[in-house]
Structure 1
Amino acid sequence: MKVDGITKPVTLGIIRSDYMLDSEGTVKHLDDMVLWQVELNTIAASFGGVASKMLSLHRHVLRSAGLHHLIDLMPDNNPIAGIADAIICARKLYKNPQALVLLVCHEFERNVFDQNCLHYILQERDVPFVRKTFAELDQQARLDDKRSLYIGQKEVAVVYYRTGYDPQQYDEVAWRVRRILERSLAACCPDIPTQLAGTKKVQQKLTSPDELSSLGLSGTCIARLQQTFTTIHGLDEGEEGDMAVQKALANPDQYVLKPQREGGGNNLYDEDMVRVLTSGRDGERGMDRAAYILMHRFRPPSSRNVVICPGAPCHVQPCVSELGVFGSYVRCGTEMILNNCCGHLLRSKSLALKDGGVMAGNAALNNPCLVPMSAQPLLKL
């Protein structure tokens, strides 16, 4: 990628693709379920560190409860190791053994323990690591005449964003710093095109076979990808957008309205969706329809579970889950150096809640227990 005429030598990506099962009624056979992609997270794909710790925690809980027969049914999972491998690979390709890995974080970081898991692995492998906010980088970051990035006297090889995915996280200082980082030779994770590729609007466009064909993908590959793509409508002004709005208003329980936002707590359902879609009909200024997409609403099968949240009583209730699959890649120009699946993340929430999101307080981290569909329930709550 070129920014202001400079080409970055190394491209680093750490992503998480999220999926949900969709089924109407009681699920009795695997054929009754479809695994649909919910979204693709290309910036600050979190919980790789905490997910790596949850496996030992849940195995300990099962062991303490005398449910030893379930322990081996929980698949191994260590996504933070794969994430660290990708960052270390990108740093080695930078060819300065003294260069830093920079993690850009919030001023008041709530997810520091997840990020510390990465810090500890890098520390064990003698990789220098620093955490900085946009405000700190505004005072400390600089480019030399070759556009190498420095923090003080230390050169930076990799910039890993754990902030910068929401417009509210950008003020004049943040924009100024982002420009400096993107103009540098350091590998930015993600770079600007990769971040934009994770937006809901791009997800909508990629459901079209014509769009996928333009990427040079084979017909077989396109068919396999489309098996995971659910129905997504654009709401741009025009006939297609008008038809999508009418579909949503006619059957609001079948759709979810999504803005171009990340982090959970942003989606609109039912009467809230209807209210936004009908705004502006009485002369008032309505919604910017192009800023949203309309997605098929999933009806995942539920299972009885206990969601443990601070300050909330524990009780058995119907819960639904969302599966995230971590991936990482490192590229030099057009040459792919590394392209790995790193592990998974399972998040569960009460069936009574519409929107998810762990940081939004609506979901909790979980682990899958893999059993044959034909088997009798191994654990009843």
Structure 2
Amino acid sequence: MRKEEIQPVPSEKLDLDEWENVMKSGLPEKGSPEILEHEGDSSLTAIKELVEMWRMAGKTVPENISNEQLKVLMERSTKSYRKKYLKYLAIKERLKKAKKERQMAERKVMLEKPIEIEELSEPWNTFFLQSLKSFYDCMYKWRAAQSMMFGQPLVFDMVYDIYMSHREMVNTISQLLKTEGLNRKSPYPFHIHFCSLQTEGPYHKELLKHYGEAWDKLLITTTEKAHVDMFPKDKLVYLTSDSPNVMKTYEHDKIYIVGSLVDRSIQTGLSLANAKRLNLSTARLPLEKYLHWSVGKKNLTLDQMILILLTLKDTGDWKKALEFVPKRKHEGFVDTQNYSQEKINF
């Protein structure tokens, strides 16, 4: 028996438009009794199938579509209107998704880095700054009050106004303002004394000009008395760069004195001569011991001095303290391997 050759049946090309027509033929016409009777789940299901068919055909349709949007789609009478509506929903969905992803990315970045005050929105920034300022003001005042009762005194000698020009006076007051602020913000501040501060004198007038009403609220001691009239002489140590005595250790039971002056044009040895006249002990910082000092005077500003003294008092480490010496004045630290042996005795 001869076998007949079986011819392969040619595959028919899928006609998407024909498929669409077949699917649509199963849908009741708009306004028909079926629509009125079965409006709801059955009609919505048919529209969903139509949308899914268009998705498979590569048309622009949204990934998710609500029942309300399906009802709007049902009201579209023509194919072109439905396609335009679905494209509109797809684009809207895409934009919403992109915005959400961008917000999540920004949120992730914000959580992974410290929040800077400047990055906060204006209303929150204002509220945050006011609350933060109030908190820190209370904390600083409490620390300053504690230092006035239990803190180590630090004296600023205010007898040098007659030796300075007005410009030097203003510069000195500017440094004193920085000094008071740095001390106030320290975890363990000094009890600052402005000694020999004459009422209505040049120093006093400049301080009032800068502080205003806040002057009477400062938690520091101001007096017209000299330091020698307030403390035992054997406890006083005058810090001056002209002293022949190098300061070896920081002593917590001593009362250090710093001259309130800018000595750019002042004769050398003025503060040393003042200390000798009062028969006071003197000392200078061991700058040459720890630093490769460049050529020039070893004078430091008042705010640099307070940072050095606060660090010495709190840590007892010369190297940490002398990091506040401006780098333009020296060529780096001396290569000393036994800094632990050089630490200050507490």
* TM-score bin (small chain): under 0.3
- Which protein is richer in strand relative to its size? 1
Specify the structure having the higher radius of gyration (Cα): 2
Q: Which one scores higher on RCO, CA 8 angstroms, separation ≥ 6?
A: 1
Normalized against structure 2, the TM-score is what?
A: 0.25
- Flag the structure with higher helix content: 2
